[in-house]
Amino acid sequence: MIKHFSLLSFMLLALGLHIQAQPQATVLVNDAQAHQTISRYIYGMFSEHLGRDIYDGIWVGKNSSIPNKDGIRLDVVEALRRIHVPVMRWPGGCFADEYHWKDGVGDPAQRPKTINTNWGGVTETNAFGTHEFMEFCRLVGCDPYIAGNVGSGTVQEMSEWVEYLNSNQESSITEWRKRNGQDSAWKVPFWGVGNESWGCGGNMTPEYYADLYRRYASFCKNYPGAPLKKIASGPNGHDLHWMEVLLQDIPHWMMWGISLHYYTVPTGNWSHKGSATDFGEDQYFSTLKRGLYMDQILNDQEALMNRYDPQKRLALVVDEWGVWTDVEPGTNPAFLYQQNSLRDALLAASTLNIFNQHCDRVRMANLAQTVNVLQSVILTHGPQMVLTPTYWVFDLYKVHQDARLVPLQLQTPDYVFGDDSLPAINASASIDSTGAMHISLVNIDPHQAITVKLEFPGSASWKFSGGQLLTSAHVNDCNTFEHPDLIHPTSFSGVRQSGNVWTVQMPAKSVVVLTLKK
């Protein structure tokens, strides 16, 4: 009798340990409270005259054997159209504050050659200028976002660029545009007044920049049918002082938004940032930890903005973000060419979940950068093109663009590494214009699958309509020119429904996007 009792006790104990060994997260889905809109502009891109982003990546020239439309490579255009890129920021970056737009219009054979002093001292041919950029945006189907030159430019120069792009009234500037082949104004809405004015854009103090902003913005005019959304050069990451000075010294009616830049450096050391693909779990963990710090940055910057702008009229524009690693061996260190792994995709998905959750203040974000630079969505080599794991995140998440945010309450186990830990699961959800709900889930734990229970306290009428999964065998797996399709979305069916509770079996190191319909 005693032996039988002991065996039963042992079996119950083992069963209990087995149950405890299965990590579980719970998500309360408050679909009845979906009121705020996730701006499509959160899913924007950034392209700079840096390395092979513009030249080779977007522009190949009219005489190239690579299929192109007036010099713009069409495979890149089609890839960006697929993910519904809503806005493209250009020409920089640091390059913006040494760029003089008049060098890039008119007969390409007559355009002056300049030196790109920020990125390798290479020759800038100015073959890709204002007209080429606007045509690129037209082909992609996205809005342009111009970063104006405050660092080395003049008020008149920026004022005339606005006039060139946005005015249909008769003037020497608009007549010049017509002679260059564009009869009607493009009416560009988004204008950045300087870039990183605390750094490469002039190493200014916030007080000095705020005065300059007021002057430049005053002469960036609204032309009929073309109101400007002016964006001030905001803080470097967590710099609250810079943000507060701008909020105090610039009248809010002079700004549509304030920018913020934050890069994830895996090691935290800008001199040795770490490899994009050759890393262990220590750098995997540190990358995710530094990247997820974005949520704290936004919380603190938004709390400050709420003190000065409680009506939330000002947008927070995260117009440079992404993972920044050491360049690929054998490439020009000034060109910032890096590979892109599953780790980067997991961080991109997690960051987009964060942006979605902050959509009441974050109304634009631009991944750095689009092609061949930093955490790009596309890599090119001659006629070849590779879509990175980060690209596929943007493809999965395009369902959130202009959808209504569904508030979530999340309880998650931790991903533990050494003496530190991070929330293993993050998520966001939205309801689109057709009434379909999309729930994006990320499991950053590289070892453990996690059971996620989705609870719908107000409704049991949702039905599973499909799911997609992004994962791979290793967190440093990547798509290469030899194996371009190693990582791509696959169908996901690991979902079970019981009443208004759904059970989702999330694989380790994975992104899952579910579609539900009533």
Q: List residues with catalytic annotation.
A: 196, 320
- CA-based nearest residue to 470, from 444, 456, 488: 488
Q: What region does 196 belong to: left with phi over 0, alpha with psi -120 to 50, or beta?
A: left
DSSP element (H, E) containing 292: helix 281-292
* Measured distance CA(314)–CA(360) in Å, rounded: 10
- Which stretches within 374-488 are classed as H helix? 389-397
**Max CA-CA distance within the chain?**
103
- CA-based nearest residue to 337, from 48, 124, 53: 53
DSSP element (H, E) containing 450: strand 450-455
DSSP element (H, E) containing 452: strand 450-455
- CA-based nearest residue to 343, from 232, 247, 178, 475: 475
DSSP element (H, E) containing 67: none
Q: What are the structure tokens assigned to 146, written together?
A: 């111009």
HEC per residue, 317-381 = EEEEEEECCCCCCCCCHHHCCCCCEHHHHHHHHHHHHHHHHCCCCEEEEEEECCECCCCCCEEEE
Contact status, residue 487 vs residue 345, Cβ threshold 8 Å? yes
Task: Report which residue type is found at 387.
Answer: L
Nearest-10 Cα torsion for 468, 38, 449, 501 = -90
- CA-based nearest residue to 206, from 182, 233, 184: 233
Contact status, residue 326 vs residue 264, Cβ threshold 8 Å? no
**Contacts of 512 by beta carbon, 8 Å cutoff, 6+ apart:** 440, 441, 442, 443, 467, 468, 469, 470, 492, 494, 504, 506
Q: What region does 116 belong to: left with phi over 0, alpha with psi -120 to 50, or beta?
A: beta
Q: What are the structure tokens assigned to 165, written together?
A: 């792009």
